[in-house]
Homo-oligomer: A and B are copies of this chain.
């Protein structure tokens, strides 16, 4: 239950003349997620209540059960969100990347844990101060409702996956979904650069590492993907991958 963020600091609100706050200028999420709902001017107000932090790879920054004092918005990097059972079984409930909001699914205490898969940069907002932000910018609250609704859709998709899909279907679904995710930022990518280990994948898809490995081998033998070194997976046949993931194949 220790404070997992040591290096929080009040964000400096340096303003480039006529531009966006320095804090936001090189933020990967400037034009997605929360902040895109605001004109540049209002962004200054938001930046003034934000603190920026850098989380090293492998470091946890949310502990399930801790009082939920802050929201987070990821600027750069990827984190995993998870829930554990007392005996160590773990379910990763999602991966959060640039623009993603962490902390919606919380009441008094966090109902999940979070850990950086790679070095993560994020903005954190005090939950109390956020009330003030809502009052001033109803657009943000509306945006949050949209975000939450979308997360609900993703969550239901994941329940279908966990409850009903086979191992190969789960892996295909994941790769297809991850492809769409990066495609929405960059162009349609054939080369996926995954930030997570096979073990993370297993904990996300409700399987074991060995089964992930075998499912990837199956997809490779079918000529659907090519498995490279260092977490790189190339999609050879995107249509087939999608079909398998949707259980149409």
Contact = CB atoms under 8 A, between A and B. Distances in A.
A125 to B, nearest CB: 15
Given A162-B163, A162-B206, A248-B86, A106 B155 contact: no
A246 B86 contact: yes
A218 B162 CA distance: 24
A104 B158 CA distance: 17
Interface string A154-175: 0111111011110000000000
Contact of A145 (B112, B148, B164): B148
Interface in A108-133: 111-112
A214 interface: no
Interface string A190-222: 000000000000010110000000000000000
Contact of A93 (B85, B90, B160, B248): B160
B91 A150 contact: no
A153 B107 contact: yes
A32 interface: no
Contacts of A111: 153, 156-157
A157 to B, nearest CB: 7
Nearest to A147: B148
A240 B153 CA distance: 33
A188 interface: no
B90 A150 contact: no
Given A111-B153, A145-B148, A152-B151, A160 B83 contact: yes
Interface string A80-113: 0101011101110100000000001111000110
Contacts of A15: none
Interface of A: 81, 83, 85-87, 89-91, 93, 104-107, 111-112, 134, 138, 141-142, 144-145, 148-153, 155-160, 162-165, 203, 205-206, 246-248
13 contacts: A83-B159, A85-B160, A85-B164, A86-B248, A89-B164, A91-B159, A91-B160, A106-B153, A107-B150, A111-B156, A111-B157, A141-B142, A148-B149
Given A105-B156, A152-B152, A163-B205, 20 more contacts: A85-B160, A85-B164, A85-B165, A86-B247, A87-B247, A89-B247, A93-B160, A104-B149, A105-B152, A106-B153, A107-B153, A112-B156, A141-B141, A148-B149, A148-B152, A155-B156, A159-B159, A159-B162, A162-B162, A162-B206
